[in-house]
């Protein structure tokens, strides 16, 4: 592929591919945003022009994700990693426990932060199986007195994804959806809180979306630093301090793109079609490629696989790079290969990867 004439086949895990149409619109508006004579990056976050961008993004997210009226939408900073700390800071009082379902590295990081601030415990873990699967719902035993239950909806490193979420009753269910938010419809009403870094399916890095039930907001501790209280951001429409204005603008444009694609039902169908191309290449390879995740737990966002040995993997990745594929290396912690097929990755890129995998197998079998 000629890099001068064509965009790369971008399978990066994050920051990841953005819709070309969104990038082109941002390019057109970059210097003079909608007649203001300024870039959106130069606008005051208190200006009517930016407030319109900000509120439109919130309203479009609420509409597309079918967020009920008793939830707040916040745009924060610090990524999901800061949420790992803010959640127990706000919602894990002394004398209570919080349950964590361990399905990968990001679950581990969230749990470790909670340990610094309170008493978390493991509801279930698939670590002994190298995080190849999501626990069965009937394996999840939590306490009715728990402050909350925490899950990671999609695991980028290991390539697993929850297909169905547990019913936690009166215990708030909190989900890190950083790597699959807006990739499919979700019943938001099952959750006390959903949070996600934007840099995989929603926009560039720098914005963190928090969707939080108003009842949970009321339970938060009050004696916390101002910036670490969810109530601070809720009361100020996420404008307490200067927000990442360009990131919010881009997030709004990505949401507009999802709307134009037909909404989450259409996006979900498209994602299934894309992932199937690559999973079929793995499953039909007679062991030349080996998927990491068990079939019942496979992610539609992060497809992880290995080849017979490290030498063959190095050759595969080197030749893929030469052919214009970007981001196919597995996470540094486990190696192997990974194709991240987020919303903005076009089906043509997945078809090209499938064809490359078939051709590589034929030449190296």
Tell me what pLDDT residue 5 has: 52
Question: Any idea what DSSP says for residue 300?
Answer: S
> HSE-up of 23 (CA within 13 Å, CB side)?
8
Q: pLDDT digit string (tens) for 8-31?
A: 999 999 999 999 999 999 999 999
Q: Which distant-in-sequence residues (6+ apart) come within 8 Å of 60 by Cβ? A: 252, 255, 256, 259
- CB-based contact 174:193 (threshold 8 Å): yes
Question: Is 236 within 8 Å of 42 (Cβ atoms)?
Answer: no
Q: List CB contacts of 330: < 8 A, sequence separation 6 or more.
A: 157, 304, 306, 336, 337, 338
The whole-number pLDDT of residue 3 equals 42
| 235 pLDDT more than 50 | yes
pTM assigned to the model: 0.96
Q: Classify 79 as helix, strand or coil.
A: helix
Query: Does residue 280 have an active-site annotation?
Result: no
Averaged pLDDT of the chain? 96
**CATH T-level fold of 263-364:** 3.90.1150
356, 323 contact by CB (below 8 A)? yes
Residue range 137-183, pLDDT digits in tens: 999 999 999 999 999 999 999 999 999 999 999 999 999 999 999 99
Residue 125 has pLDDT above 80, yes or no: yes
Single out the residue of 143, 145, 139, 183 nearest to residue 163, CA to CA.
183
Q: CB of 82 within 8 A of CB of 60? A: no
Among 305, 267, 262, smallest CA distance to 287 is for 305
What is the chain's Cα-based Rg? 21
CA 152 and chain centroid, separation: 9
pLDDT for 36-87, tens place per residue? 999 999 999 999 999 999 999 999 999 999 999 999 999 999 999 999 999 9
CA distance 77 to 11: 24
Catalytic site includes residue 106 = yes
Can you tell me the mean pLDDT for 97-125?
98
Question: In what helix (H) or strand (E) does residue 311 lie, and over which residues does it extend?
Answer: helix 310-322
Q: Where are the domains of the chain?
A: 24-260, 263-364
Q: Which of 146, 162, 180, 200 is catalytic?
A: 200
Task: Sort 340 into a burial class: Cβ within 10 Å, 0-12 / 13-18 / 19+.
Answer: buried
Does residue 53 contact residue 252 with C-beta atoms inside 8 Å? yes
CATH top class, domain 24-260: alpha beta
- The pLDDT of residue 252: 98
H-helix or E-strand spanning residue 88:
helix 79-91
Q: Is 127 a catalytic residue?
A: no
Q: Which one is catalytic: 106, 146, 229, 274?
A: 106
State how far the Cα of 53 lies from the Cα of 6, in Å rounded to an integer.
Answer: 31
12, 73, 50: which is closest to 214 by C-alpha? 73
Confidence of residue 1 (pLDDT cuts 50, 70, 90): very low
pLDDT in tens, 249-269: 999 999 999 999 999 999 999
Res 110 pLDDT > 60: yes
| CA atoms 286, 290, 295, 299: torsion sign | negative
Angle ∠(114,77,56) on CA atoms, nearest 5: 125
pLDDT tens digit string along 324-341? Answer: 999 999 988 888 999 999
Residues in the chain: 365
Residues whose CB is less than 8 angstroms from the CB of residue 29 and which lie 6 or more positions away in sequence, other chains included = 40
pLDDT of residue 6: 80
Q: Summarize the confidence of residues 82-108 as an average pLDDT.
A: 98
- For position 239, what pLDDT does the model report? 98
- For residue 302, give the 3-state DSSP assignment: strand
Cα–Cα distance, 216 to 206 (Å, whole number): 25
Residue tagged active-site, from 146, 162, 176, 229:
176
């Amino acid at each position: 592929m000629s890099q001068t004439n064509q965009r790369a086949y971008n399978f990066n895990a994050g920051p990841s591919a953005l819709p070309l149409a969104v990038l082109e619109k941002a390019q057109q508006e970059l210097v003079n945003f909608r007649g203001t004579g300024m870039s959106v990056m130069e606008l005051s976050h208190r200006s009517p022009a930016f407030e319109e961008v900000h509120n439109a993004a919130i309203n479009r997210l609420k509409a597309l994700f079918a967020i009920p009226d008793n939830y707040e939408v916040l745009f924060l900073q610090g990524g999901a990693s800061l949420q790992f700390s803010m959640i127990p800071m706000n919602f894990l009082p002394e004398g209570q426990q919080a349950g964590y379902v361990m399905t990968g590295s990001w679950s581990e990081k969230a749990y470790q932060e909670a340990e610094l601030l309170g008493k978390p415990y493991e509801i279930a873990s698939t670590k002994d199986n190298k995080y190849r699967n999501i626990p069965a719902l009937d394996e999840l035993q939590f306490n009715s007195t728990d402050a909350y239950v925490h899950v990671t909806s999609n695991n980028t490193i290991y390539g697993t994804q929850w297909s169905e979420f547990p019913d936690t009753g009166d215990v708030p269910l909190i989900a890190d959806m950083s790597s699959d938010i807006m990739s499919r419809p979700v019943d938001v009403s099952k959750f006390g809180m959903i949070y996600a870094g934007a840099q995989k399916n929603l926009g560039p890095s720098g914005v963190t979306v928090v969707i939080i039930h108003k009842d949970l907001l009321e339970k938060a501790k009050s004696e916390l630093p101002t910036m670490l209280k969810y109530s601070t951001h809720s009361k100020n429409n996420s404008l307490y301090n200067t927000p990442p204005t360009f990131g919010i603008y881009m997030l709004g444009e990505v949401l507009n793109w999802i709307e134009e694609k037909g909404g989450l039902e259409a996006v979900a169908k498209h994602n299934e079609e894309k992932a199937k191309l690559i999973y079929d290449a793995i499953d039909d390879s007679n062991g030349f490629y080996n998927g990491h995740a068990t079939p019942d737990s496979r992610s539609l966002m992060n497809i992880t696989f290995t080849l017979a040995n490290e030498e063959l993997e190095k050759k595969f990745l080197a030749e893929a790079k030469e052919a214009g594929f970007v981001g196919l290396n597995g996470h540094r912690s486990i190696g192997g290969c990974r194709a991240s097929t987020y919303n903005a990755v076009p089906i043509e890129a997945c078809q090209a990867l499938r064809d490359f995998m078939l051709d590589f197998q034929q030449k190296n079998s």
